A and B are shown apart, each in its own frame.
Chain A
């Protein structure tokens, strides 16, 4: 990806288990680092104000929005993206399988964020109520499903993982 100009810092960041030592412009957002610098396109951009959650990734075990963090600030962090889910390019992990079975996605643009949200939610709370699920998903916008089947998918994933 082309240079952006401005000061450059060198960072070491681990993404899906692979450690990258690279120089990044200080102004570069983590989401652009993941998409453009690393060329991993599963993390999406849906807004410019940190509202939509399409760029959600897991940073040191916590769900964050990668458009609300500078790449340089991720120095030394462990990042997990949607590409880390499942075993190999064709395997669906239990969360992905639940979304497929319960039609928890339509256009699929918001889906990577919801999957990672679900992963961190179920790690903290293996048996969430519908209210807890909806509250947890609040930071991820979906414009296709009305959330109904996403909530069902999360419930099914929780079931499967218990």
Chain B
């Protein structure tokens, strides 16, 4: 294949995978979870622990005039309190990834001097029980001086609005122009230019069912801070916490076993971990905190809200879409907790699934008095991909193309791979036309069009929608240099250790923090294949443990990469161990290494299976009978093999904003048939299908489960889940009663199929997956627009509850502006 040489150094793909890799072996994790034997963070406790309750700002923006904790501290059972004032002394502001102006921000673990969003922690109370802590919190007197609020992600940059961070001087955190190809040429030479006024990607969260929590103990004797927490990217957290409180990473221990979902929302919990550490040191006790749901919804992290303005799309008369030009405003909320990485992450998928060549995105990251954003499932790419899909459908509608044909025409074609995007990213493999064909079969596209015609005049309108998305995985942290050339990050990687223990047990430890993705199972599958044994003979340590497991700076579970980085590391370590076992086995059997094979937990001669040594024989010899071995052999094996998988990245270019930003490009194409009630605007999904392509699948059932889950998040966000603030900055859906998480009645059965286009760039042909790219957001918007009467306003928002659809239905009769215009030559 040309790819290996053209874009990346050749990668050797393992021939050993097969016996178990690729099979839907049942998950080893399941037994303990089904038996109620899981160990989630709220299930843990320590002797003498206190319980924490955070007093939070009821104001979206207010100066903290004074805090009086005396009445609370006088309560029986109250151990200590921690105020923002103290934090200002005990903590240095967090390191900022943004250059100026955003980089000037001073961010602490609690509100210092000023609260900038409703729910921001102002005081922490530690007491004998959580109930007593909450009782005491009501006795804490905080005097606030309310300040004006700024809530609109675009309007917040206007001169007259309140400035959230005085150090920055405005509410602009980052600005940059991404200019690829020649969009001006394209706009001048296109047969048509489609202009879209505004598209808005709303705020929501994948809201894991387990909220954030931690049990933290700052050991006064050793000076080690132990964090038992469901944070899903501990080394990233350590990078922020360490310098902020002057503690080395060697004095920070992180561990988790079972995590009740994360979806990226649990990456930015480092602020809470910092506060808990400081409180533990002050009180001289372990401190335990379990976030309530309202705290989670109001003050953990929200997905990025993004507004796209003045979109111009040059289109040729044959339907070829040349590119697009847009102004994007990404609303980061009150602080840059993971931002402004989102300002570059989207550019992993600049043209979406299409052969779009000329793109200019004028991108501004802004600040508002809302909950800070975090990298929610599909982070930053799904916002952009949704806009691209909206462009495709709007162009089709306005210029009279069939939306299916327009996609077929503009898709990157199977023969194009590896495909280089306008900004130098390399799409590794895929076949979007085949996926589209399959997904249309699954929903019986022609039949659905029939039903659509038949439904006219019944009061119910049928709509058919398509959404094509990418799930770019294994990102190159060097892309952070595109937003800040001074950042010391590049590449990516994950570490694993595979060892043979004394009695022949094979143990695997990894640096990842699984939250339901089945890492224990898939790691056992690939290890078993490489060592010639069965997965149930492989013990994969559960969860993350910095001290007991190996790790690298990128360790964690995020951004669709485990199958590549995590399993890449496990495979490398297993191969190393295999090499050592073969060496020792060959010596003990008096044979050449080339005569040796591993099977059923034995080292044996390929030619004579009777001549075999069980792994216990190898281990016992190396660990307990080592004098039997030649010295140089004994010195050359450890049976304890660590491997770090490193994707073959180079550093992207800061000036041109180009480079190889991610290694793999899994894709999903969804299709839906919906029914819209003309009188109410209520949308009902009649049929839903998803076709997935993520390279070689190690465990197909786990992959399918990830597709279902990502689809449900998208469907929920499209129809039910939206964070809404009132004009005062108060969150109006602060509980699950008003933030309607999709139920079993809201998510339809999902018809699923897949195709497999192995990645040529990864050690196992797999692509990272799991985020899904937000396909349902595009699909349902596409279907709603398809159901609307002639002359209706375009579907302009990712969230369409019944009232919004009702208004769209009525817009046709109103004959008002439709949010789009076409200029033709």
Contacts and interface: CB of A to CB of B under 8 A. Distances in A.
CB atoms of A and B under 8 A apart anywhere in the complex? yes
A111 B30 CA distance: 10
Nearest to B75: A5
A47 interface: yes
Interface in A42-75: 42-49, 51-52, 54
Contact of A109 (B131, B210, B517, B704): B210
A43 B32 CA distance: 13
Contact of B293 (A46, A110, A138, A145): A46
Interface in A133-162: 133-135, 137-151
Contacts of A35: 42
A111 B709 contact: no
B209 A143 contact: yes
A89 to B, nearest CB: 7
Given A106-B705, A143-B207, A146-B708, A134 B36 contact: no
A145 B36 contact: no
B745 A92 contact: no
Q: Is the interface of A mostly helix, strand, loop or mixed?
A: loop
A103 interface: yes
B744 A151 contact: yes
Contacts of B515: 106-107
Contacts of A146: 708-713, 715, 747, 750
Interface in A90-116: 90, 92, 96, 99-101, 103, 105-112, 115
B259 interface: yes
Given A141-B741, A150-B744, A44 B210 contact: yes
Given A1-B129, A106-B518, 10 more contacts: A41-B39, A42-B36, A52-B293, A82-B35, A103-B27, A105-B30, A107-B259, A143-B207, A143-B709, A149-B708
Interface string B714-753: 0100000000000000000001110001011101011010
A110 B735 contact: no
Interface of B: 24, 26-27, 29-40, 42-43, 51, 76-77, 128-129, 131-132, 135, 206-211, 258-261, 263, 290, 292-294, 515-518, 701-702, 704-705, 708-713, 715, 735-737, 741, 743-745, 747, 749-750, 752
9 contacts: A2-B129, A35-B42, A106-B705, A107-B259, A109-B258, A134-B745, A137-B743, A138-B743, A146-B710
Contacts of A13: none
Contacts of A83: 35-36
Contact of B131 (A27, A44, A46, A100): A27
A145 B712 contact: yes
Interface in A6-57: 25, 27, 35, 40-49, 51-52, 54
A51 B709 contact: no
A85 interface: yes
A106 B516 contact: yes
B36 A40 contact: yes
A51 B741 contact: yes
Contact of A51 (B210, B261, B713, B735): B735
B98 to A, nearest CB: 30
A137 B742 CA distance: 12
Given A48-B292, A107-B259, A100 B26 contact: yes
A88 to B, nearest CB: 10
A148 B750 contact: yes
Contacts of B293: 46-49, 52
Nearest to B260: A109
Contact of B77 (A1, A5, A49, A148): A5
A105 B743 CA distance: 15
Contacts of B43: 41
Contacts of A138: 743-745
Contacts of A130: 749
A46 B741 CA distance: 12
Given A5-B131, A106-B517, A143-B713, A45 B33 contact: no
Interface of A: 1-5, 25, 27, 35, 40-49, 51-52, 54, 81-83, 85-86, 89-90, 92, 96, 99-101, 103, 105-112, 115, 130, 133-135, 137-151
A4 B129 contact: yes
Contacts of A2: 51, 77, 128-129, 132
Contact of B743 (A101, A107, A111, A141): A141
Contacts of B36: 40-43, 81-83, 112
Top 7 closest pairs, chain A to chain B, by CB? A42-B36, A108-B33, A109-B260, A146-B712, A107-B516, A106-B516, A51-B736
Contacts of A46: 209-211, 260, 293
A125 to B, nearest CB: 15
B744 A101 contact: no
Contact of B736 (A109, A141, A144): A141
B516 A47 contact: no
Contacts of B704: 103, 149
Contact of B516 (A4, A86, A108, A147): A108
Output the residue of B42, B704, B741, B744 with the most chain A CB within 10 A: B744
Contacts of A100: 26-27, 30-31, 34
Nearest to A152: B749
A103 B34 contact: no
Nearest to B700: A103
A83 B33 CA distance: 11
B35 A96 contact: yes
A59 B42 CA distance: 23
Contacts of B77: 2-3, 5
B506 to A, nearest CB: 21
A100 B710 CA distance: 20
Contacts of B715: 146
B209 A107 contact: yes
B508 to A, nearest CB: 20
